[in-house]
Amino acid sequence: MKHLNLNRSMLIPLIVLLGFALMQSCKKEVVEVEKLRVDTLVKRDTLIRRDTIIKNDTTIVIVRRDSIIIRRDTIYIGMPYIKAPIRSATAGSNLYITSFFEYMPAPGQFINTGFGTIDEAKLILKNKDNLLTLGACGGYVVYGFDHTVLNVSNKEDIIVYGNAFNMFAEPGVIWVMADENGNGKPDDTWYELKGSQYGKEGYIRNYAVTYTKPASDADDIAWSDNQGNTGFVKKNIFNTQPYWPQWITANQYTLTGTQLPSSNVDDSNPEYITSRAFDYGYADNTLDGDKVDISNAIDKDGKRVKLKGIDFIKIQTGILYDMGWLGEQSTEVFGIADLSMVN
Ligand SMILES: [Ca+2]
Ligand SMILES: [Ca+2]
Ligand SMILES: [Ca+2]
Ligand SMILES: [Ca+2]
């Protein structure tokens, strides 16, 4: 205050001025409080409004300045964010899967026929004209795309073509993987795409079923699972070839994954066995292909994970059920495509 060198006559108008400013400021506070009732937040001078929308484990924050959106943030509360390099699609990218990695079917009535060999698994690449069976429960196939299939927000991202038709679904669980270490190989973490049956009766994660090679190719194939159940993949009169994958030399093998409920199978009339489709989220479930959303990816604990995109996909037969003369429940795949590239 020294250099200001104020005298008494100057101080009085200054006090009046300060008082006036204080009054104005109180007035502004009143305005702000009123606005607060309407808006989430109003900052002084500019009309900044912030809306927070909380939906499940996602929080969307929208910031507007004078009604114009200036910022939109999506926050995933407690949701792990999976970091992985993105291989952007180019004009030359294929809409279908382009790399084959592994075919490990369960025994089944079309295994070792034209629908169930490693050669057939490779014919599925780059088209949707060939049919591959995965055999009974737990049988799977692993493929890759030549680009990262992006997770488009609020949209389905992948289409899996199967041979389901009205009242005859053979749902398969869909798993996705991002190439987190960027080595081009599916050696990272699989995330199950949560479908409509998640958590329902008969839905079992960490399910394991072991198949045992029969003494003769004419015999049914025994299975036992980690739930204490046993049974057979039964031979039928229409398909007489060995049901045991001929390239598997071990006498036993175990397949692990998620089992889906068989509650939609109705074999009360053996002449007309039906298997109603699930609501959403599975392969070989509905006519014309099944569209799935990468946002439904969950980790081993069932928690949602945030994936920007995926590089690999695994389809796995979900139901363990013998449908009599129709054979075992077994998921089939015609092709898999990046939905954003499908016209
Ligand atoms: Ca999506
Ligand atoms: Ca990898
Ligand atoms: Ca089948
Ligand atoms: Ca089928």
Exposure on the CB side of residue 60, measured as CA atoms within 13 A: 7
H or E element, residue 259: strand 252-259
pTM of the model: 0.80
d(CA 182, CA 191): 17
What separation in Å is there between the alpha carbon of 192 and the centre of ligand 1? 14
3-state DSSP percent of the chain in helix, strand and coil, to 5: 15, 35, 50
Ligand nearest to the CA of 183: 2
Q: Pick from 323, 9, 340: which is nearest to 168 by CA?
A: 323
Q: Output the pLDDT for position 11.
A: 61
What separation in Å is there between the alpha carbon of 310 and the centre of ligand 1? 11
What separation in Å is there between the alpha carbon of 292 and the centre of ligand 1? 8
Ligand nearest to the CA of 292: 1
123 Cα distance to chain centroid: 24
What separation in Å is there between the alpha carbon of 4 and the centre of ligand 3? 92
Sequence letter at residue 76: Y
Integer angstrom CA distances of residue 164 from 27, 131, 170, 264, 342: 68, 12, 7, 14, 20
Average pLDDT estimate for 219-242: 97
pLDDT bucket at 342, cuts 50 / 70 / 90: very high
**R_g (Cα) of the chain, nearest Å:** 30
What separation in Å is there between the alpha carbon of 296 and the centre of ligand 1? 8
What separation in Å is there between the alpha carbon of 179 and the centre of ligand 2? 4
Kindly list the domain boundaries of the chain, sorted by start residue. 8-76, 81-341
The dihedral built from the CA positions of residue 187, 189, 193 and 197, taken in this order, carries a sign that is positive
Backbone phi and psi for residue 48, each to the nearest 5 degrees, phi listed first: -105, 125
What separation in Å is there between the alpha carbon of 216 and the centre of ligand 1? 47
* Number of C-beta neighbours around residue 184 at 10 A: 12
Average pLDDT taken over every residue of the chain: 89
Question: By the 8 A CB rule, do 260 and 193 touch?
Answer: no
Q: Output the pLDDT for position 14.
A: 58
Percentage of the chain beyond pLDDT 70 is 85
Question: By the 8 A CB rule, do 158 and 311 touch?
Answer: no
* Number of C-beta neighbours around residue 212 at 10 A: 17
What separation in Å is there between the alpha carbon of 5 and the centre of ligand 4? 93
Ligand nearest to the CA of 306: 1
pLDDT tens-digit readout, 108-141: 999 999 999 999 999 999 999 999 999 999 999 9
What separation in Å is there between the alpha carbon of 306 and the centre of ligand 4? 31
Task: Describe the strand order of the beta sheet including 290-292 as a list of residue ranges.
Answer: 290-292, 158-161, 335-338
What separation in Å is there between the alpha carbon of 23 and the centre of ligand 2? 65
For residue 144, what are its two tokens? Answer: 């890759």
What separation in Å is there between the alpha carbon of 284 and the centre of ligand 4? 6
What separation in Å is there between the alpha carbon of 298 and the centre of ligand 2? 18
pLDDT tens-digit readout, 162-204: 999 999 999 999 999 999 999 999 999 999 999 999 999 999 9
Q: Pick from 223, 192, 187: which is nearest to 208 by CA?
A: 223
Give residues with Cβ within 8 angstroms of 331, minimum separation 6: 133, 134, 139, 162, 170, 171, 172, 283, 284, 315, 316, 317, 318
Range 44-68 burial, b when 16+ CB lie within 10 A, else e: eeeebbeeeeeeeeeeeeebbeeee
Q: Pick from 187, 185, 158, 188: which is nearest to 172 by CA?
A: 158
d(CA 133, CA 136): 9
What separation in Å is there between the alpha carbon of 283 and the centre of ligand 4? 9
pLDDT tens-digit readout, 26-47: 333 333 322 333 344 555 566 7
What separation in Å is there between the alpha carbon of 203 and the centre of ligand 3? 20
Residues, beta carbon < 5 Å, ion ligand 1: 151-152, 155, 157, 293-295
H or E element, residue 51: strand 48-55
d(CA 341, CA 190): 23
Question: By the 8 A CB rule, do 174 and 292 touch?
Answer: yes
Q: Pick from 224, 207, 204, 189: which is nearest to 138 by CA?
A: 207
Ligand nearest to the CA of 160: 4
